[in-house]
Structure 1
Amino acid sequence: MQNLNVIYEDNHIIVVEKPVNVPSQGDKTGDKDMLAIIKEYIKEKYNKPGDVYLGLIHRLDRPVGGVMVFAKTSKAAGRLSEQVRVKEFKKTYLVIVDGKLEKDKDTLEDYLLKNERNNMSKVVKEETKNSKLAKLDYEVIKYNKEINLSVLKINLHTGRHHQIRVQLSSRGHSIYGDQKYGGRGHGKQIALWAYKLCIKHPITKEEMEFKCMPKLEGSYP
């Protein structure tokens, strides 16, 4: 069984660190995904016969690592999915981008359109058919003048396809290591990490916060 960093677990939810380059769920590559890895972990740990239930509540892009929560019961899955729908499910990211941003803090709003053929999204006009509103807040944590890179903290209001990557690159601040959207650092790991997750426990209603910091083993600048 693949090593799994379990941050928190009870009878209703399991919170884990998703490693970089592991899919959140099965895809056409057939590579082992987080759903399969966690099901295997539960099956072995609790010696469960037959199929294990595990609800996927949210996703991270394959190259992105960080904290994720999965539901161990259908009731927990339904309640967590409702938190996502009403925007009570809060995800915070750390990211390294090209250049110096004009403002230390700001809210970015765009309309995005996904191209299914190349699995990329782009900023379009509001009236564009099938476009969706994308909104995020950012705060500059640090700017390194020598290498012209900024570290940002990102809070998402919406969860659109490649949202952070597209909104930042459209303003000339591509993410370091993001080959799809023009980032510097060819061959490096994309410098985007889901480091904090805030939810209400689906059963006890307790406010819960989980953090998981990236391992900086030469992958990032």
Structure 2
Amino acid sequence: MEDQSINPDDLYEHYSFVAEKGQQPLRIDKYLMNFIENATRNKIQAAAKSGNIFVNDVPVKSNYKVKANDVIRVLFEHPPHEYLLVGEDIPIDIVYEDDDLLVVNKPAGMVVHPGHGNYSGTLINGLIFHFENLPKNSSDRPGLVHRIDKDTSGLLVVAKTEDAMNHLSNQFAEKTSEREYVALVWGNVDEEQGTVEGNIGRHPKNRLQNTVFEGDDAYKGKPAVTHYKVLERFGYVTLVSCRLETGRTHQIRVHMKHIGHTLFNDERYGGEKILKGTTFSKYKQFVENCFKILPRQALHAKTLGFEHPSTGKWMSFTSELPEDIQNCIAKWRDYAKHQSL
């Protein structure tokens, strides 16, 4: 019988992880479910059965127990879908455009670039349909200078030329760009304003989350700084403005949770539970209604400022809070008013 073994060098890497030093033995199908977004156990088991899951370059079955320092790779015969970019006629809300760049107001629910589980309908699919020859960034993504999460709404700048890409990317790296977000968070924020500093990196136990690393572990994350100020108080929740000095993945969501103020209805970080308030069933019903009105994390990229790559002129853009956030705030404002009577 001919040898059916697969040579890992002939395959494309889709995922790669190194198990933490403190990793307790855990079945690989369970382990990967914590690390791969939108993956089902059936899909993982099917991949293992087909010989696509490798540990230390040896294919393993789904009952393999992951141990500390294991190098886990998921390899397939086809390249990752995010590299197979297809233009799609998706409407894009363009706030400003010239020869060098465009500023886009992204709706909540739109993914910025293709990735696992989201291969179409992304902002990039729309951009490459409407614009030719967009420059690639360091991750090979056309036009993207920065990104915002799928369920965050608001402003993004997109580069149309190589020079604009370099110039704008440098501004984000040098922290000279201006980015202000509005967020509704759980709890009554103590200070009128403050700064959260803390290195952010992938959560060791849940790769879909990021976390703040402190003390002896601080070296694990990347430096992150968020300045916040209170805009309005509603008792059990607070409306805040957050200004980013750095741009880490989920930065505001992670930093606000770190100081005890998880974003309202942020499912990934536990904000879809009632974290503050009374035990009255009437209150519970009120919050559930707010979740229905705003079925995502309450975060909007409101202001974006940068130096124009060609003219050197400072440009600043502001976008209205979307209707879902406005309606949710109105409900809380009304609730707070009646509570204080």
TM score, norm. by length of structure 1: 0.89
Q: Distance in 2 between matches of 1:140 and 1:180?
A: 23
2:227, 2:244 within 8 Å by CA — same for their partners in 1? Answer: yes
1:6 aligns with: 94
Contact 2:199 2:220 (C-alpha < 8 Å) held by counterparts: no
Residue 102 of structure 1 corresponds to which residue in structure 2? 190
Aligned residues: 212
SS in 1 for 2:320: coil
Residue 214 of structure 2: aligned partner: 125
| Superposition map of 1:24-173 within 5 A | 24-29=112-117, 30-42=119-131, 51-53=133-135, 54-115=142-203, 118-128=207-217, 129-145=219-235, 148-173=236-261
> Contact 1:169–1:182 (CA<8 Å) still a contact in 2?
no
Corresponding residue number in structure 1 for 2:322: 215
1:131-152 deviations in whole A, cap 9, x for unaligned?
222211001000012xx11100
**Residue 133 of structure 1 aligns to a residue in which SS?**
coil
Which has the higher Rg, Structure 1 or Structure 2? 2
Q: Does the residue aligned with 1:79 lie in a helix, a strand or coil?
A: helix
Q: Decide which structure has greater strand share.
A: 1
Deviation for aligned residue 1:2: 2.1
For residue 268 of structure 2, give the secondary structure of its aligned residue in structure 1.
coil
Following TM superposition, by how much is the alpha carbon of 1:85 offset from its aligned partner in structure 2, in angstroms?
1.3
Where does residue 25 of structure 2 map in the other structure?
none
**Cα separation, 2, equivalents of 1:125 and 1:14:** 38
Q: SS of 2:196's equivalent?
A: strand
What is the Cα-based RMSD across aligned positions, in Å?
Answer: 1.9
How far apart, CA to CA, are the structure 1 residues paired with 2:173 and 2:200? 19
Q: How far did 1:126 drift?
A: 4.3
Q: Which moved more, 1:100-109 or 1:33-42?
A: 33-42
Tell me which amino acid in the other structure corresponds to 1:212: S
What's the CA shift for 1:105? 0.6
Structure 2 residue identity aligned to 1:67: L
Identity of aligned residues (%): 26
**Deviation (angstroms), 1:119:** 2.0
Q: Any stretches of 5+ residues in structure 2 without a counterpart?
A: 1-88, 136-141, 273-287, 330-341
Greater share of residues in helix: 2
AA of the residue aligned to 2:152 = V
- Highest RCO, 1 vs 2 (Cα 8 Å, sep ≥ 6): 1
Single out whichever of 20-29 and 182-191 deviates more from structure 2: 182-191
